[in-house]
A and B are shown apart, each in its own frame.
Chain A
């Protein structure tokens, strides 16, 4: 199937009674992407992944994997593999026996790839042991091995490095990089910005079921925009003046100073004059680039930084909470 994206999700919704776990999610993952599905725990990442794999029914919306609907048949999962939450196995069977079972359920040549997959994840020498005795890290790796049996073109991994020790995390990331380099498209859900920053070229940032941002990390960084930092011996009065100044918004105290957003540079100039007029000395007034982390938190925790910037750019009321829309 050429010309069809590995993942195309449109208007995906999952409701549990009154709770909306996934709310109108649109996602497009292109071939070759290492796509980060980033959001805090409880943002609905796993629920979305389960819908993408056909494990749960969407309340509304559609999922297409290489153009096929996983709700209709497992045929849509051809060339797709992965796991949601921690990968799970039959504890009373050995690692290799578990893989044999999965390979049997995969059909085709999957069984011939068992040893190779075990070697890729470094489990060859423990494969004869019952999975019941495996550590968390070994299970995660066995989960990847189980996915590799399907020779996937699309790999969907839910928090693959969670719960691993630092060495295990590094190995897992190396493995994902290696798989991606071999041509696999990867969808990686994570609540760790650093992980996504390290591995992914594109991201969707989700917050309480909604996509707050979707695009490349580079664009996101460019969008992060800037804020200003003000330092004065009389912080309280400085903040009062800044708060009353037109074009200045989101005045907040931060360690040893004040942070604010400005509509433009003129507004900052006007503020410096206003401060001088009010007799408030300025020790520092500097532009500050928001880090990706700031942006992540502002997108996922409902901080008003982004909204305010947008609202003031529109000339609207900067204090009014505006919904975060997908970019």
Chain B
């Protein structure tokens, strides 16, 4: 029996586990919330102009939410790109594409395994940040109720559920970024270029968002989707940004993945 995508996926995860950059990304995902909470406790102030910023001292539930907003500027795109931008290009760096493509797996299977491993890593990044932020936040500010964006008070347990849901939904734009990272990794064949390129893309989209006169584009920018989860923190839940995020992110991710696969299937695996 020939091996399939699952075999490749398992080995891609194993390769990620053997590489420093993976731990660099996951480590950053864990350390940033800790630094944030330590600063919060020692400095005493709070960012009042950010959603949930003013509740940071009232409840630990606010910590992951504020981090999601801060992290969307460059932290999460960068951590995601660290692996997404490398996972195909690394094969070029080590010249190993020729090695694995002369075994018994098809190119599309290799790509699918890599994409799945990248997404798994991205999920892990958000899960780690969320978990560490929650624990650190609750230790620092307590497990208390939180005031939703509509001004209603939500109990701590219900709030925890909404935070979990928000973290989960945050994956939608993150996976779109990961897809773009995969595309650039495949096209550039150079991980530094792909990582920087992914980050630049993410920053450029944000730049478009603040340019005057382009306000009409705002709802359709990838950067906007990083705050779509806020729809969950309204009562009743505002589904408009949530649903829009789903299709807008798909519009970014699907063509990126499609082009990446085409390039990967058709490319010549030559020396340099």
Q: Which residues of A contact B (CB under 8 A)?
A: 46-47, 50, 53-57, 73-75, 77-78, 80-93, 97, 101-102, 104-108, 146, 150
Using CB atoms, name the residue of chain A closest to B98: A55
User: Could you list 30 examples of A-B contacts with CB < 8 Å?
Assistant: A50-B98, A50-B270, A54-B101, A55-B269, A55-B270, A57-B268, A73-B106, A74-B101, A74-B102, A75-B104, A77-B102, A77-B103, A77-B104, A83-B98, A85-B95, A88-B99, A89-B94, A89-B99, A90-B18, A92-B15, A93-B18, A101-B15, A102-B99, A105-B7, A105-B100, A106-B103, A106-B104, A107-B3, A108-B1, A146-B99
Question: Are A47 and B270 within 8 A (Cβ)?
Answer: yes
Question: Are B103 and A102 within 8 A (Cβ)?
Answer: yes
Pick from A75, A90, A91, A102 the residue with the most CB of B within 10 Å: A90
- Given A102-B103, A107-B104, A150-B104, 16 more contacts at CB 8 Å? A47-B270, A55-B102, A55-B269, A56-B268, A56-B269, A57-B268, A73-B106, A74-B103, A81-B102, A88-B98, A90-B94, A90-B96, A101-B11, A104-B11, A105-B7, A106-B3
Q: What is the CB-to-nearest-CB distance from B161 to chain A, in angstroms, rounded to a whole number?
A: 40
Q: Is B42 engaged at the interface, CB distance under 8 Å to the other chain?
A: no
Pick from B94, B96, B100, B270 the residue with the most CB of A within 10 Å: B270
The size bracket of the interface on B is 20 to 34
Question: Are B271 and A46 within 8 A (Cβ)?
Answer: yes
Q: Is B19 engaged at the interface, CB distance under 8 Å to the other chain?
A: yes
Question: Are A89 and B100 within 8 A (Cβ)?
Answer: no
The residue from B1, B18, B95, B100 contacting A107, defined by CB atoms under 8 A apart: B1
Q: What is the CB-to-nearest-CB distance from B11 to chain A, in angstroms, rounded to a whole number?
A: 5
Q: What is the CB-to-nearest-CB distance from A44 to chain B, in angstroms, rounded to a whole number?
A: 12
The residue from B8, B14, B268, B271 contacting A105, defined by CB atoms under 8 A apart: B8
Instruction: List residues of B (9-27) whose CB comes within 8 Å of A's CBs.
Output: 10-11, 14-15, 18-19
Question: Are B94 and A88 within 8 A (Cβ)?
Answer: yes
Q: What DSSP secondary structure best describes chain A's contact surface? A: loop
A150 to B102, CA, bound (A): 10
List the A side residues contacting B106 at CB < 8 Å: 73-74
Q: What is the CB-to-nearest-CB distance from B261 to chain A, in angstroms, rounded to a whole number?
A: 16
A71 to B248, CA, bound (A): 36
A56 to B10, CA, bound (A): 27
A-B contact count (CB 8 A): 99
Contact with A along B63-99 (1 / 0, CB 8 A): 0000000000000000000000000000000111111
Q: Is B2 engaged at the interface, CB distance under 8 Å to the other chain?
A: yes
Question: Are A92 and B18 within 8 A (Cβ)?
Answer: yes
Pick from B95, B104, B271 the residue with the most CB of A within 10 Å: B104
A101 to B1, CA, bound (A): 16
Question: Are A88 and B266 within 8 A (Cβ)?
Answer: no
List the B side residues contacting A50 at CB < 8 Å: 98, 268-270
List the A side residues contacting B99 at CB < 8 Å: 83, 87-89, 102, 146
The residue from B8, B11, B18, B270 contacting A56, defined by CB atoms under 8 A apart: B270
Q: Is B31 engaged at the interface, CB distance under 8 Å to the other chain?
A: no
List the A side residues contacting B116 at CB < 8 Å: none
List the B side residues contacting A91 at CB < 8 Å: 94
Closest 3 CB pairs of A and B: A56-B268, A105-B103, A55-B269
Q: What is the CB-to-nearest-CB distance from B96 to chain A, in angstroms, rounded to a whole number?
A: 5
A118 to B14, CA, bound (A): 22
Question: Are A57 and B266 within 8 A (Cβ)?
Answer: yes
The residue from B7, B10, B15, B101 contacting A90, defined by CB atoms under 8 A apart: B15
With A88-B95, A90-B96, A104-B3 as known contacts, state yes or no: A55 contacts B101, CB within 8 Å: yes
Q: What is the CB-to-nearest-CB distance from B87 to chain A, in angstroms, rounded to a whole number?
A: 13
The residue from A84, A85, A92 contacting B19, defined by CB atoms under 8 A apart: A92
A63 to B105, CA, bound (A): 19
A86 to B98, CA, bound (A): 11
Q: What is the CB-to-nearest-CB distance from A60 to chain B, in angstroms, rounded to a whole number?
A: 15
